[in-house]
Chains A and B, each alone.
Chain A
Amino acid sequence: MIDCDYLRPDNLEEALGLLKEHGPRATLIAGGTDVMAKIRNTKKTPEVLVSIRGLKDLKYIDKRSGYHIGALTTHRMLEQSELVKAELSALHDGASRVGSVQVRNVATLGGNICNAAPSADTAGPLLVLDALVFMEGPEGIRSVPITEFFTGTYKTVLKKDEVLTEIKIPGEMEHFGSAYWKHSRRKAMNLPILGIAVSLKLEGEIISDVRIALTVAAPTPVRANKAEDFLKGKALSDEALNEAGKIAASTECCSLRDSLRGEAWYRGEIIEVYVPRMARLAAERIAQRRSK
């Protein structure tokens, strides 16, 4: 870092005031694991850093008419939450696989999605959990579904003068089982070659509702709508799940590309294999919860 102002507002109101005052010169920083690494890697320091790390009011996991997760909730809190593990399992899978313990102790859920990397490990889980993203700015509070939050690689609908405050997951997600698979070469400390998240609801053996999300499969994390439409109303069978995997891997659902971490053909195979596996795991988790 060369030189900058480092401001630490005490509350959200003050933070919003500082963002307004400094306009495009300001950059928000929370846990800092993305912002600090970027400063170091690019050797460019924002003129003003507005740190919201001290806003303890934005650090919570609550269940009341839905699940409310404060933007500053750390990945470690999600990893250690029994509620998240049992009822929002895909988010638990994703948060537990980000970086290391050291990173998860400070990196925040809000930061992970604001950074908007195509590989963000919480993005797929939030997509299959129907998350709503709440933002506060000079014009008040607004919310968008997570499906509309990402607008491009490292781009979101969040405006420069807004702060992401909460992620809300609807209460009906309680009836879904969910799972996320981060496909990577090592067990820790790397980015996914591909991420697959599935949530589903069962009525007997029939899949009455389902969501499938893919990360590193397009410029932004995406839902595989065509594969979902195919699966809805079908029995949970290998045949149906394998076909859904094929549809998810096709150009109807994603735009796979070659990169250093993996080639497009390989990513496609992984989707075909892991959509069925994650659907099975999601279904198993429903059964596990019922047996408790």
Chain B
Amino acid sequence: MKKVSVSFTLNGNTVTAEVPVTWTLLKTLREYFELTGAKEGCGVGECGACTVILDGEAVNSCLCPIPEVEGKSVTTIEGLANEDGTLHPLQEAFLKNNGVQCGFCTSGMLMSSKALLDQNPDPTEDDIRTSIAGNFCRCTGYVQIVESIEMAAKESK
């Protein structure tokens, strides 16, 4: 199997992965770096459980061929909290508002909403709903998730 060496910034650290050329970013995160926060739900860009931030934008890591990550910057859920363990305002807000039920969609929800707040610190409810339209929560806890993101936006001001 043909392998490729890809260097990029992962949660602030410069890393290099030697993986089969056909691997996706998601597979590389989970199986090479053993960062299992990003989940595989559908594998075809419909459920958003694999969402990570690539050069500032939320993307489905399951649709991203690993060679495309060369030289880029990737943030995953593992890079969201501070190094000292204090949680990101979004994580705090999800906890306070019961924004987490089974948890499978949570890392994707957090990464989509982080990308939103990074670009737009004062989103409307509509902006929030659009930003997570590609993240499916099959517990259907959307109301609490939207409230969590609203709270995080308010508290980050």
Contact = CB atoms under 8 A, between A and B. Distances in A.
Interface string B57-91: 11110111101101000000000000000000000
B22 A29 contact: no
Nearest to A8: B67
A287 interface: no
A1 B22 CA distance: 6
A187 B126 CA distance: 12
Nearest to B131: A101
B130 A5 contact: no
B1 interface: yes
Contacts, number: 91
Nearest to B134: A100
A32 B43 CA distance: 13
Contact of A36 (B48, B63, B115, B131): B63
B51 interface: yes
A105 B112 CA distance: 12
A242 interface: no
A45 B58 CA distance: 26
B2 interface: yes
Interface residues of B, number: 34
A106 to B, nearest CB: 6
A6 B21 CA distance: 7
A259 interface: no
A4 interface: yes
Given A6-B22, A189-B134, A105 B2 contact: no
Interface string A34-46: 0011001100010
A49 B66 CA distance: 13
A105 B64 contact: no
B45 interface: yes
A187 B133 CA distance: 9
B22 A102 contact: no
B65 A36 contact: yes
Nearest to B4: A6
Given A33-B63, A102-B58, 9 more contacts: A6-B21, A6-B65, A8-B68, A36-B24, A37-B44, A41-B44, A101-B58, A102-B45, A188-B133
Interface of A: 1-6, 8, 29, 32-33, 36-37, 40-41, 45, 49, 51, 53-54, 76, 99-103, 105-106, 187-189
The 8 closest A-B pairs by CB, nearest first: A100-B134, A1-B22, A188-B133, A37-B44, A105-B57, A36-B63, A102-B60, A6-B21
8 contacts: A3-B21, A4-B2, A33-B60, A40-B44, A41-B44, A51-B68, A106-B64, A188-B133
